[in-house]
Amino acid sequence: MNHQQTDNQRFEQYKKQAKKEKRSILMWQVIIFIAFFSIWEIISRLHWIDPLIFSSPTNIVQLLVDKMVDQTIFIHLQVTVLETIIGFLLGTILGILLASLLWWSPKLSRISDPYLVILNAMPKVALGPIIIVALGPGYASIIAMGAFISIIITTIVVYTAFQNVDENYLKVLASFGASRYQSFKEAVLPASFTTIISTFKVNVGLSWVGVIVGEFLVSQKGLGYLIIYGFQVFDFTLVLASLLLIAICAAIMYQLVERLERRLMN
């Protein structure tokens, strides 16, 4: 009885300590946040930095509020987010399909090996101009860039996972006379599930890169376009406001994928 009481007390104390630690970390995060933006605001107003180039938090917020009131920002936001989602889905799905095809035909996989290595090593955004010439200066090109940037690495990573599936699972299936398709469906695909999910997180980030660069080049709509436009007319408040929106959207999408991952893993 007595023992249990002290044990419980210790546990309570441990919990209190953990809570305190957590609160302290959150406090520091808030302090850094506030300090960063207040210092930025102050030195901008004091003209220690050039407010024309570095703007200031209040200017950025003011601009965002204005653009939300006249609703012009939403079109750009919508365009970019949709392009990124479609690019991400295309890149991921096509990558997995290509990996399946390579698993299906070991010969094809060996033939394509050097090409995959080169394509993977190449900085995909450098292909931007060619993609735009081929697909025209529109959404198609931008989505293609968002997809292309992740497709090769997804293929390679997922195919490697397919290959590393323990052969004995395939042996068990073979002893029941399973076809190649059945082996794929029953063992290879489910055994590689973790790897496939992990590519989602990487690909979300990659798709953002592809889409923003695409918008830089095509320059019609979207947050990437706003950045380039702001740069050209020397409106750095607009550049920084767009940047802020991109950071927020990318973080939200990453969180969603992470939540999906946790859901799927259980």
Partner 1 sequence: MAFLSIDNVSHQYFTKMNYTKALQSISLSVEEGQFISFIGPSGCGKSTLLSIIAGIITPTEGSVRVNNTTVQRPSVSIGYMLQQDYLFPWKTIVDNVLLGPHIKGTLTNGLQQLAIQSLTEIGLEDVLHAYPSQLSGGMRQRAALVRTLMTDPHILLLDEPFSALDYQTKLKLEDLVSNTLKQFNKTSILVTHDIGEAIAMSDKIYLFSASPGSVFSSFHVPENLQQLTPFEARQHHDFPALFQHIWEELNSLESSTNR
Residues 225-264 that bind partner 1 (CB under 8 A): none
For residues 120-145, one letter each, b for 16 or more C-beta atoms within 10 angstroms of the residue's C-beta and e for the rest, the string is: eeeebbebbeebbeeeeeebbbbbbb
Complex with partner 1: residue 88 or 162, whichever CB lies closer: 162
The yes or no reply on residue 188 touching partner 1 (CB under 8 A) is no
Supply the minimum distance, in Å, between the C-beta of residue 183 and partner 1.
Answer: 9
Q: Is 266 in the site for partner 1 (CB under 8 A)?
A: no
Shortest gap between Cβ of 190 and partner 1 (angstroms)?
5
Judged by CB, which is closer to partner 1: 129, or 190?
190
**Cα–Cα distance for residue pair 99/92, rounded to 1 Å:** 11
Alpha-carbon 34 to chain mean position = 26
**Residue choice 54, 61, 97, 186 for contact with partner 1 (CB under 8 A):** 186
Q: Which one among 10, 16, 110, 171 touches partner 1, defined by CB under 8 A?
A: 171
- Nearest approach, Cβ of residue 173 and partner 1 (Å): 7
Q: Does 169 bind partner 1 (CB under 8 A)?
A: yes
* Given 105, 182, 220, 255, the residue binding partner 1 (CB under 8 A): 182
Please provide the DSSP assignment of 100-127 as one string. Answer: HHHHH-HHHHHHHHHHHHHHHHS-GGGG
Comparison of 37 and 169: residue with beta carbon closer to partner 1: 169
Q: How far apart are CA 166 and CA 120, in angstroms?
A: 26
193 near partner 1 (CB under 8 A)? yes
Number of H helices, E strands in the chain: 13, 0
Q: Of 191 and 197, which CB lies nearer to partner 1 in the complex structure?
A: 191
123 binds partner 1 (CB under 8 A): no
Q: Distance between CA 67 and CA 237 in Å, rounded?
A: 12
Among 3, 6, 176, 263, binds partner 1 (CB under 8 A): 176
Q: Minimum distance from CB of 116 to partner 1 (Å)?
A: 21
| Terminal C-alpha separation, the chain | 39
Q: Does 175 bind partner 1 (CB under 8 A)?
A: yes
Q: How far, in Å, CA of 141 to CA of 155, rounded?
A: 21
With CB under 8 A as the contact rule, which of the stretches 16-24, 188-196, 197-205, 224-232 interacts with partner 1?
A: 188-196
CB 250 within 8 A of CB 208: yes
Burial of 146 (0-12, 13-18, 19+ CB in 10 A): buried
Residues that bind partner 1 (CB under 8 A): 166, 168-169, 171-178, 182, 186-187, 190-191, 193
